[in-house]
A and B are shown apart, each in its own frame.
Chain A
Amino acid sequence: MIDFAWLADHLDDLLGRLAQHFVLAAIAVGVGFVLSIGMSIAALRRPRLRTTLVTISGVIYTIPSLAMFAALVPVTGLSTLTAEIPLTLYTLLIFMRNILAGLDAVPAEVLEAADGMGYSSRGRLRRVELPLALPLVIGGVRLASVSTIGLVTVSGILGDRFGGLGFFIFEGYRRSFPTEILLGAIPSILLAVVVDVVLVAVQRRLTPWSRSNPADRGPAQGLPQAMGSSV
């Protein structure tokens, strides 16, 4: 069923597509993260802005990805921008929810102690609130990465220059050639798993304090609350 000779011929293609897949996803996750951090900090003490931003990113999240790629083609053409805009927008809801949940979870007495000792509000955010939000923030990065790696395949609809590993899936489907479909599907799954494992290691490294307390072992427990069922 699997055509190994064909696979051997196309290993170079695989590496190229894998790199493209990774880069497309990394740009979206990176840009989405920076935007979301900014929006979350702006929204943190402004309840109305917060509701507005979370609602908008929630609405965006409900738009089917194929539709969004297609809708952008008349505006931005068949460009990298057309691939990256939807990928980035889909990360916003994940990031905003996790970052805000992380900041909300900082205990009130910790904030009171910080204020009482003379932290400025910026110093408190930087030295106390953001570090304590880190487990949930990194949890957001994990979720956004995995979900974006999945969505990059869909951008293959825009043509040969996009889609990363999704290219193989589309082409294999068109040619009714299962080996090529698997060449797209399996590496993209592996990529998602590897990225997730690396991020877990990063989180453990960055939040040594959350390991000493077995009741608070990072994002695994936090995620279901942070990314609620309303998505």
Chain B
Amino acid sequence: MSTAERVVFEHVTKRYPGTGKGNPGAVEDLSLEGPAGKVCVLVGPSGCGKTTSLKMVNRLIEPTSGRILIGESDIANRDVIDLRRGIGYVIQQVGLFPHQTVGENVATVPRLLGWDEVRRRARADELLKLVGLDPGRYAGRYPSALSGGERQRVGVARALAADPPVLLMDEPFGAVDPIVRERLQNELLRLQERIAKTILFVTHDIDEAIKMGSLVAVMQVGGHLAQFGTPDEILASPASDFVARFVGADRGLKRLALVRVGALELRPAITARVGSDAADARRRAAADDFRYVLVVDDDDRPLQWIHPDRLPAEGQVPATDDMAAAPLFERQTTLKDAFSMLLASDVQAGIVVDGEGAVLGLVTADMIGERMRQAS
């Protein structure tokens, strides 16, 4: 795989004749850098110039002023056909060639670059596998025989065919239903972990931007860059009223989706193995303001919660089925999911377990609230 290249906008302006500043699709003095190997999302309402900005990178639209660099080189000095063959391009309606098979579609840029038939075929098969389509089943089909999600995957495979350092994606998942969109988003994120391309991704959906972007550029009508930063920065401290309104009143909740349980300092659980000394467990529970005791098995896997009053004064910790040991979190669980599960549970603490299911500690709703306040 080739190395990814950064994409830099330097004071890029695009005006359309006759209508002056602020017309839909115009871009005003845009400067930002999409770092190599990262997903940089351009997000904003329609007419904010996000698609115009994207299309200036492969010169489907030429800027009025300013310059765009890929790596260190100014794209204005490149041959436009060469430039485009070196940039992956995915659009909302996919634009597969209906008269060519899936395999031929994927091999489009390799064919334009003059690769021989054998190499093209091998590359098409490799890419179909990469996007999760079995080449044996799909390579010979025509696009009309594919579902929307399959077409979009083929579109991504086609864009990656010549291993371009930069990928442009213009609302790539805008035309598929929400369930398929969610799956395609996850697939792209997993794919990106392997290919590490520089991706410029355009969307009007702030949730998609937050999910997909390492960096998010919020644009507003008139083509102004309203804010450029990590998703957490944008949600935690919107730079203007426009950004605050655009990200929505629930931005606090949205931030929860960005942080995982592993980022919290876990509260130690008061655990007691079945058959251990009940009096000792009661003593430890009394010393802690979260009173419940977590009964665990010999491998420290949670069995159930028990209130100290229900522990016998002497003797052993019993194996009751008093209160289910739930909810269970892993380190990778997002705070959003964790918070949601806590709201629905009897005990106001979630149990964090490791890969083997052994208890690591507890998370409470207060801890999540505290974390959100710290970071803002």
Contact = CB atoms under 8 A, between A and B. Distances in A.
A109 B91 contact: yes
A119 B95 CA distance: 14
Q: How large, as a class, is the contact surface on chain A? A: 20 to 34
Contacts of B101: 209
A193 B210 CA distance: 62
A112 B95 contact: yes
A212 B60 contact: no
Interface residues of B, number: 30
B82 A107 contact: no
B112 A113 contact: no
B96 interface: yes
A117 B93 contact: no
A131 B94 CA distance: 19
Interface of A: 107, 109-120, 123, 128, 131-132, 134, 207-210, 212-213, 216
B84 A118 contact: yes
A4 to B, nearest CB: 51
14 contacts: A107-B93, A107-B95, A111-B95, A112-B95, A113-B96, A114-B95, A116-B87, A117-B85, A118-B83, A209-B99, A209-B101, A210-B98, A210-B99, A213-B142
B186 interface: no
Nearest to A128: B97
B142 A132 contact: no
A208 B99 CA distance: 8
B230 interface: no
Contact of A117 (B84, B92, B94, B99): B84
Given A110-B97, A209-B100, A117 B109 contact: yes
Given A113-B89, A113-B95, A115-B60, 17 more contacts: A109-B91, A109-B92, A110-B95, A110-B96, A111-B95, A113-B94, A114-B95, A116-B58, A116-B89, A116-B91, A116-B168, A117-B84, A117-B109, A132-B98, A208-B142, A212-B142, A212-B145
B65 interface: no
Interface of B: 58, 60, 81-85, 87, 89, 91-101, 108-109, 112, 141-142, 144-145, 155, 158, 168
A118 B112 CA distance: 8
Q: Rank and list the top 10 A-B pairs by shortest CB-CB distance, nearest first.
A: A113-B95, A116-B89, A213-B144, A118-B84, A118-B85, A109-B93, A109-B95, A209-B142, A209-B99, A212-B142
B159 to A, nearest CB: 8
A118 B81 contact: yes
Nearest to B100: A209
Contacts of B87: 116
A221 to B, nearest CB: 15
A113 B96 CA distance: 7
Contacts of A117: 84-85, 89, 108-109, 112, 158
B161 to A, nearest CB: 9
